[in-house]
Structure 1
Amino acid sequence: MREEKRLKIAIQKSGRLADMSIQLLEKCGISLAKSRDQLLCRAQNFPLDIFLVRDDDIPAFLATDVCQLGILGENGLLEKQALGNGKFAGLRQLLPLGYGRCRLSIAVPHDFDYQSIDSLNGKVIATSYKGLLAQYLADHKIDADIVTMEGAVEVAPRTHLADVICDLVSTGSTLVSNGLVEKDIILQSQAVLVTNQIDDPEIAALAEKVTSRIKAVLRAENSRYIMLNSPIDSLEAIKAVLPGSQSPTVMPLQGRDDMVAVHAVCEEGVFWDTMEDLKANGANSILVVPIEKMLD
């Protein structure tokens, strides 16, 4: 009997990114036998194995074909590709996932006279992202020294290890507490789904199925289903107000010749202003509900 082929995906083993990645897979209908103490987590209802590893190791798991999919921060992938001498060039992003948002930025002490990127000429910059920083400096023709640090980059100016820093920023509170001011953004980052070159057609088909489910979940999370009643003579104005809706369903209302029911999937934000605009154009009985699943 032929052994079942299983798709393998690498995700971060701990932290908020790990939790959100697990939640995303579960929303895709994949039931997991969780064990955070182990490297491997097997799906119970889908031929999928999940490797729980350090985020820095995920590109290597993909490059060596231990795994065929990976979820990690875009910053981590691009940094590995910047430093990997072509080792990670074959990895490609399939889609952004909308969580784990942060930015890689230049930050300077309050008393640093920063006028533009040219102010970094001749300075020492501390960072954990040497590859991305070196590319950025080269693109702007800046001659500066880079000091690589694995952690606590924000203390480098206070300890005179560097003049300024290049580090990941989320809320900015860590910079403020260390007397630093964010100046230039090198990269806007978020969690991304990444793949390698999958040669096995069966594994490729499984990867496509998982990717399709993730796309459906993300689309559903960003969409809303709107139901309302509209006067026939206001229908075009109401359709113009519906956010991100291309082809709403219009149905007759029983016993009413002057009204129709309108149902629409809206792929943009539906806010109170939107509902008030719909009402101002004659709509009533407006109902907005979330969408759990949506597949084209």
Structure 2
Amino acid sequence: MSKLKIAIQKSGRLSENSLRLIQECGIKIPNGGGKLITESTNFPVEILFLRDDDIPQYVEQKVADIGIIGENVLIETRKNLVVIQKLGFSACRLSLAVAKEVDYKDLSYFNGKKVATSYPSILEDYFQENNIKATIEFISGSVEIATGIGLADGICDIVSSGSTLFSNGLKEVEKVLSSQAVLVAAEKLDSEKQQILDKLLFRIRSVQKAKESKYILLNAPNQNLERIIKILPGMNSPTILPLAQEGWSSLHSVISEDKFWDIIEELKGAGAEGILVVPIEKMIL
């Protein structure tokens, strides 16, 4: 039986988040114990643990069928891959930074300057789009020390919280690119592997949808039901159950995470009481 080969980063935050997503999809992965490849015990997939920079090449060459990488790596490597699903985790940005004491006004500061980065292709495109003439110094790691040792006037590096920049005497001045984890593939798979991928994508999207939603239960007087129903659109319409107390009902629905607090305020204003909000583990549409 065919198995879908998934390449993920072998260590680090992206690896942890990728494995967590796979587990949330109900796929059991045994402890690899340092192995570079392992098989699920209950789903037809193999996991290849690789360096993140190597994943695009392995997928392009069909050593792996699909891979989980950051958009920054995908763009930088310029491999012939397609994004089949954005995953919503490991969000970061690729930014330009200079020493804290620099009186930075705008992007023109970088004209005639040296900039150190591990992402020369992305930075070159960015400078060209903005008509900046700068020298790009490629560094494979520890980019943040480049200004301190006199190698460059600024850097372009991945930023999450900004604490690493701050601790190295730098300040972020321009965002070059926003990035998140994505699922990528080279081209259409054979029919058997495509079926496995479709099942995997169904599970991933169910997990993602659940994280974007909340299950809500509340009590409300019957005379206010129509008003409350308009506030609670839900997937179709809320479930309404009569309570033992005459003239009252219990409503059950699903609301979007990004509208959560606004909706709660509206519900309270419409007379809702005993509002209970519960996280959703999976959401099958």
Partner secondary structure for residue 257 of structure 2: coil
Cα distance, 1:123 vs. partner?
Answer: 0.8
Q: Which amino acid is the alignment partner of residue 142 of structure 2?
A: A
Aligned ranges for residues 152-163 of structure 1 at < 5 Å? 152-163=142-153
2:260 aligned with 1:295 = no
Aligned equivalent of 1:259, options 248, 255, 279: 248
2:257 aligned with 1:268 = yes
For 1:67, the equivalent position in structure 2 comes to 64
Q: Which amino acid is the alignment partner of residue 264 of structure 2?
A: M
For 1:11, the equivalent position in structure 2 comes to 8
TM-score, length-scaled by structure 2 = 0.93
Distance, in Å, in 2 between the alignment partners of 1:149 and 1:180 is 17
Deviations 1:86-138 (A, max 9, x none): xx12x111222222121100001123232211221111111000010001001
Distance, in Å, in 2 between the alignment partners of 1:207 and 1:31 is 16
Aligned equivalent of 2:118, options 108, 111, 128: 128
Deviations 1:26-64 (A, max 9, x none): 111111122141111101111100001111111011101
Aligned equivalent of 1:39, options 36, 40, 46: 36
Q: 1:100 to 1:254 in 2, by over 3 A?
A: closer
Aligned length in residues: 285
Distance, in Å, in 2 between the alignment partners of 1:199 and 1:275 is 45
For 1:149, the equivalent position in structure 2 comes to 139
Is the Cα contact below 8 Å between 2:60 and 2:185 reproduced in 1? no
TM-score, length-scaled by structure 1 = 0.90
Cα distance, 1:230 vs. partner?
Answer: 2.2
For 1:56, the equivalent position in structure 2 comes to 53
Partner secondary structure for residue 216 of structure 1: helix
CA RMSD of aligned residues (A): 1.9
For 1:226, the equivalent position in structure 2 comes to 216
For 1:191, the equivalent position in structure 2 comes to 181
For 1:84, the equivalent position in structure 2 comes to none
Q: 1:246 to 1:271 in 2, by over 3 A?
A: closer
Q: Which amino acid is the alignment partner of residue 215 of structure 1?
A: R
Distance, in Å, in 2 between the alignment partners of 1:294 and 1:157 is 48
Cα distance, 1:258 vs. partner?
Answer: 3.6
Q: Which amino acid is the alignment partner of residue 16 of structure 2?
A: D
Cα distance, 1:249 vs. partner?
Answer: 2.2
Distance, in Å, in 2 between the alignment partners of 1:255 and 1:108 is 66
Unpaired runs of 5+ residues, structure 2, are none
Cα distance, 1:228 vs. partner?
Answer: 1.4
Q: Give aligned-pair identity as a percent.
A: 43
Distance, in Å, in 2 between the alignment partners of 1:253 and 1:245 is 19
Cα distance, 1:183 vs. partner?
Answer: 0.6
Partner secondary structure for residue 38 of structure 1: coil
For 2:204, the equivalent position in structure 1 comes to 214
Q: Which amino acid is the alignment partner of residue 76 of structure 1?
A: V
Cα distance, 1:198 vs. partner?
Answer: 2.3
Cα distance, 1:276 vs. partner?
Answer: 4.6
Partner secondary structure for residue 238 of structure 1: helix
